Each structure stands twice: as C-alpha cells, then as structure tokens.
Amino acid sequence: MAAVKWIKLVSDMFDNRKIKQIRKMPECDAIIVIWLQILCLAGHTNDNGLVYFSKDIPYTDEMLSTEFDRPVATIRLALSILVRFGMIEIVNDILMVSNWEKYQSQTRLESIRDYNREKKQVSRAKQKLLLEDMSMTCQSCPDTDIDIELDIEEDKEKDKEKRQKKKDDDVFETFAQGNVDLLLALHDYEAMRKSMKNKQLTPRAKELLCTQLRKLQEEGEDLVACIHQSIVSNWFSVYPLKKGDHHAQSGRNDNDDRWNVEKTLQL
C-alpha cells in the first residue's frame, strides 16, 4: 500500500490532557517526539494505523531504537506510557495507533486509494499493450530473423575457410623460408594433387610432405627438381632424382619404400 505523505495534527495539540501529563514526566520531550514518530510510521505504513516493519515482521523495541535513534530504555518507557494513556495499542506484537482516523482525513485517504488503484490499472493496461505489440512484431518478422541467422552462419563458415587456407599456406611458406621458386613448386604440386580425384592434400599431408622434403634436402637433393619430377609424372609422392626413372618406369609402390607417401604419410 502506498505511503501517505502527511498526517493531521491539531494546532492545540499541546493543550491535550494526555500531552500535558506526559510533559510533566521524565524524558517528556523524548516521549512526545517518539509519539509523533510513531504517527509518521503509521502514515508510511498506511494500513489503518498499524505500524510494522513488514506484514510478517513487527517492530521490536530494539528495531524502534534503531529507527528513532533512541536508547532502548527510552523506547520502552515511551511505549508503556503511550499504551497506558490509550494513545497506542499493541496487538499480537504489532503497534496500532488508537483512533487513527483522527490523524487522517478519511475522504482524502479514499481519494489517495482510488488514485493509486487507477494508476495501477493504467500501468497494467500499458504493459499489456506493450506485450501485444512485441508479440505482433515477433510474429511479423520470423523470416528476417532466419535470414539473419543464416547470414551469420555463412559468414562464420567463410571466416573458418579463410583461416584454414591461411594456415595451409603458412605450412608451405614456413618451409620455403623465402625461397620463391620452392614455394611456387609446392603450390604447383598442390594444384596437381587437387586436380586428381580424392587426392587433394590435407593440412596434415602438407606437414608430412615438408618433413619428407627435409629428408631429401639432407641427402643433397634439389627440392624444386624433385617436386617438378612428381608433378610431371603425376606421382602421389616425391622421390630423389636418382630414383625417378625407376618409379617412372615401374609405377609400383613397394611396401618397404620409405619414399612411398601413400603408405607412410597417408596423404
């Protein structure tokens, strides 16, 4: 329930008999201020004079001490006097201001309640319209959403292919180490293998091919010539030049041939 921002006090409040009696007591000023603070809390709660922290949590003496910034002993003294004078009641541990209607204008309270009720109804109606508009918008553009998702997936696939191609190119570029002729020969060999059915070089096959070429290089072979020899002969592997005629004539792939890429490298 919305809080009430005002309470009604009469101008001759301090001529009231109960207030006059309180003013003769010890801690009188503190007791009167606590009384006014209780009225303000009741207005904040706005529940027919009830005063509670929440509906499930009534105020304790210690909580009121914190709320009013007063010693607990002073709070207890004030409550006992206010109860004795019938200014407040304590029902099931919940404070209640007696004759609460004296401190409120019932007509004004009803106006506030009606205003809050209408305000909530308008707010709910706006939320309902907003949800309906969102629902209609979502229903009118499902194809667009699907197209956007497809475009995103297509872009991801293209990026993946570009990254893979760059990675594949890096294998040969790293191996060639700036040797342009060797790099061109490697790309020519790749193109030759690509033109053959199901014989395209995989990234792993490229790495193994470079490993095999390093072995040829250690044996003093001309790598560019070895690669050209395999391109011309449509070989699936690369061989030393001195063995080129043997493989070209026999066309066999011995199981114990350490240069047989089909067996050892499975390109």
Indicate whether 200 and 259 sit together in one domain.
yes
Query: How far apart, in whole angstroms, are the C-alpha atoms of residue 41 and residue 50?
Result: 9
Amino acid present at 260: N
- What pLDDT does residue 184 have? 92
Q: What is the mean pLDDT of residues 199-213?
A: 86
Indicate whether 120 and 181 sit together in one domain.
no
Task: Provide the CATH number for the domain around residue 34.
Answer: 1.10.10.10
Indicate whether 127 and 194 sit together in one domain.
no
The answer to whether the CB of 240 falls within 8 A of the CB of 221 is yes
Indicate whether 88 and 130 sit together in one domain.
no
Indicate whether 33 and 94 sit together in one domain.
yes
Residue 3 included in any domain:
no
Residue 151 included in any domain:
no
Which tens digits make up the pLDDT trace of 39-63? 999 888 888 889 999 888 999 999 9
Confidence check: pLDDT of 176 > 80:
yes
Residue 238 included in any domain:
yes
Residue 234 included in any domain:
yes
Residue-by-residue DSSP string for 7-65: ----TTGGGSHHHHHHTTSTTHHHHHHHHHHHHHHHHHHTSTTEE-SBTTBPPPHHHHH
Indicate whether 133 and 211 sit together in one domain.
no
Query: How far apart, in whole angstroms, are the C-alpha atoms of residue 37 and residue 57?
Result: 19
Nearest alpha-carbon partner for 16 in 102, 118, 107, 136 = 102
Residue 132 included in any domain:
yes
Domain extent, residue 135, equals 107-140
Residue whose entry in the numeric block shows the structure tokens 């497809």: 150
Confidence check: pLDDT of 244 > 80:
no
Residue 155 included in any domain:
no
Indicate whether 224 and 259 sit together in one domain.
yes
Q: Which of 28-37, 108-117, 155-164 has the weakest average pLDDT? A: 108-117
Residue 198 included in any domain:
yes
Please tell me the total count of domains within the chain: 3
Which tens digits make up the pLDDT trace of 115-139? 667 777 888 888 888 887 776 665 5
Q: What is the mean pLDDT of residues 238-243?
A: 79
- What pLDDT does residue 142 have? 53
Indicate whether 118 and 174 sit together in one domain.
no
Indicate whether 200 and 218 sit together in one domain.
yes
* Between 118 and 72, the higher pLDDT residue: 72
Confidence check: pLDDT of 204 > 80:
yes
Residue 157 included in any domain:
no
Indicate whether 173 and 259 sit together in one domain.
yes
Indicate whether 50 and 96 sit together in one domain.
yes
Predicted structure pTM score:
0.41
Which tens digits make up the pLDDT trace of 136-150? 665 555 555 555 666
Confidence check: pLDDT of 67 > 90:
yes
Indicate whether 135 and 201 sit together in one domain.
no
